Amino acid sequence: MKPLQGVKVVDLTTYLAAPTTVRVLGEWGADCVKIESAKGDPARTQGAVFNMPFLDDENLAFDVANMNKRFITLNLKSEKGREIAYKLLGEADVFVTNTRTKSLKNLGLDYDTLKEKFPKLIFAQVLGYGENGPEKDTAGFDVTCYMARGGVFGTTVNRGDAPMIPTNGFGDFQVSLALASGICAALYSREKTGMGDKITISLHHAAVYALSTGLISAQYGNQYPKNRREVPNPFNNVYRTKDGKWLVLCCPEYDRDYEKIFTLLGRPDMIGNEKYIHCAEVNNNNLNTEVTGILDEAMANFTRDELMAMFKANDLACEAAYEPNDIYKDEQAHANHVLAKIPYPSGERFMPTNPVNFGSMGVPEYFIGGSQGAHTVEIMKELGYSEDEIKEALENGAATGETKLRKL
């Protein structure tokens, strides 16, 4: 049995963080229905941004956040459209949205209104900057709220360089799992109290939390961003190899591993060198740049594969800085179902899986997102609407049936 089997979720979401939360709940067994306006979720056409197809039968940019759902199109500004939404919510356990609070109030779908109507409903909302403060109503995305205001761009950059160019949704996908965990906690709480709850998470807050080590240590002078040649421990750093690739070395016990590492790298001149052998002295005497420079020269004499084999054979933590094409071929990723193979018209495509695994459930099933409004009629029938009532709702625009994406 899937852990969330029997749980019903209503999804009023767009783009990535909030809809991916519902994707995760669907993989865990929840029955998930996504409400879209006639315009549809803008994510349906985001494939164009990444040079990917965005067709009804092959749309990975949409599916990555919208697998395991059914789709209904409603005009929530109409009385009938809201009536249908309320019927859905009346049968639901969870409502997930990233619609801004002001808009939810205009639609009669804000927390206070829904709490009054459906006291057992769990209301979950993704926000850009949080419920309070001067930016609470400001539009925001992962790259602005999480990466920029949350400090990721400013902290993780190699000082003096431009901020990194992340893949879209870097923070969104992390937020999705955090919100899914909050929803599960609220479902557990409801079993004891009989009452729903309000759960919010902001992209901004999630980023600051992810940077906790930097935030707490900066108060004591450990300032970010850093230049890689000045890191406190040169054995916790990235190095370019003979074949132009990057290797990550992570050996926090500098003093213990000093002689082992320089012996492996063929630098006998460093063995027993009191100038460099203790990490505290390296920092006290500002020798970080010198040690990193020596390591740069030594690492450049080996290919990445040679260094990986040598360090791992000696129980020194290191790893290749992988790119997507490396991950596709990674035996470790496939052994742990990190990637799922999804059949599409152009062939099987890799889809990253959510990293939470249940021993009792096995590998999740993946149902590809359907066309907009593909299940409108089916869902309305389940809600008790007659054929005539469904026809009328479709004719007056309160609801819309299946709508295909236009091929450009």
pLDDT digits (tens, 9 = 90+) for 101-153: 999 999 999 999 999 999 999 999 999 999 999 999 999 999 999 999 999 99
Mean pLDDT for the chain?
96
Residue type, 34: K
What is the pLDDT averaged over residues 354-377? 92
Measured CA distances, 365 to 69, 224, 261, 332, 379 (Å): 12, 42, 45, 21, 21
Q: Catalytic residues, which ones?
A: 172
In angstroms, rounded to a whole number, what is the distance separating the alpha carbons of residues 131 and 194? 25
pTM for the predicted model, two decimal places: 0.94
Question: What pLDDT is attached to residue 109?
Answer: 98
> Model confidence over 73-103: pLDDT tens digits?
999 999 999 999 999 999 999 999 999 999 9
On the question of pLDDT at 374 being above 80, the answer is: yes
On the question of pLDDT at 408 being above 60, the answer is: no
Q: Which two tokens stand for residue 100?
A: 């801004």
DSSP3 helix / strand / coil % (the chain, rounded to 5): 45, 15, 40
C-beta of residue 36 within 8 angstroms of C-beta of residue 162: no
Q: Which residues pair with 343 in a beta bridge?
A: 348
> Model confidence over 216-240: pLDDT tens digits?
999 998 889 989 998 999 999 999 9
What is the pLDDT averaged over residues 253-261? 98
Phi, psi of 34 (to 5 degrees): -100, 125
Contacts of 68 (CB under 8 A, 6+ apart): 23, 26, 27, 32, 364, 365, 366, 367
Residue type, 300: A
In angstroms, rounded to a whole number, what is the distance separating the alpha carbons of residues 353 and 170? 15
Neighbour tally for 164: CB within 10 Å: 13
Q: How confident is the model at residue 407 (pLDDT cuts 50, 70, 90)?
A: low
On the question of pLDDT at 375 being above 90, the answer is: yes
Beta strands in 70-205 (DSSP E): 70-74, 94-97, 122-127, 198-202
